A = this chain, B = another copy of it.
Amino acid sequence: MYLIVVGLGGIGRSLAGIASENGHSVVVIDRDEERCADILAQYDLLAIAGNATDKAVLEDAGIDRADALVATTSDDALNLMACWLAKRYNVRTLVSIVNQKEHAELFKEVGVRISENPDEIVARSLYVWAENPETQLLASIEGGSIFEVTIRDGAEGVNKTVRETSDVKDMLYIAIRRGGKLIIPSGNVTFQPNDVVTVFTKKESEGRSVEYMDSLFH
């Protein structure tokens, strides 16, 4: 894959590193020369110091043969315009961070896959954790959430089977991690202390589900 990464903040840097280590051709664009120099010293990729909405910069970056462009800056206007220009060069895959919820619609109109405010995603997960130290929010999708919960020694659910503890509607066990191994939770698997259980629950039943797990595993 020939990938153009716009922006070398924390996310852009990580992305460029991952893609480059996986053997893809990576070009990064950032206004800051120092950031460009830094990443060049670390990875085997191309770095261009310039404005990603500048035609000359995009062409230097090989926009006409790129398979994907991912915009990761904290400036939605820049992300949007860079994606739009890339589209005119027939870049097949366009992905962008969207920093303000309200801008999501514009990106969709241009045909960009968006990842909403990453800071908010992390914050939401920390929030759940601060409230329920044993329960971690792994991901939110429209209509549902995926949690992870660690079973306390002596909890009520210990030694019970998956089947016995599946009473709650709209809740689903996804996986159980036990001492480095991962178990698909078929009905007669029994829960053990220190198991880390991954659970899916519908949004409307989230409160009830968290409560149930609390009573069962803590």
Residues of A within 8 A of B (CB): 1, 3, 9-15, 17-19, 22, 53-55, 67-68, 70, 72, 74-78, 80-82, 84-85, 88, 92-93, 95, 97, 100, 102-103, 105-106, 113, 115, 117-127, 129-131, 133, 136, 138-139, 141-144, 146, 148, 170, 172, 174-175, 177, 180-182, 184, 196, 198, 200, 202-203
Is B133 a contact partner of A53 (Cβ separation < 8 A)? no
- Given contacts A1-B131, A80-B81, A115-B126, could you give 11 more A-B pairs where the C-beta distance is less than 8 Å? A1-B130, A9-B119, A15-B123, A15-B127, A70-B126, A70-B130, A72-B123, A113-B133, A115-B129, A139-B146, A141-B198
Q: How far is the CB of A128 from chain B (nearest CB, A)?
A: 10
Cα(A13)–Cα(B78), bound, Å = 22
Is A53 a contact partner of B103 (Cβ separation < 8 A)? yes
Within 8 Å CB of A93, what residues of B?
Answer: 129-130, 133
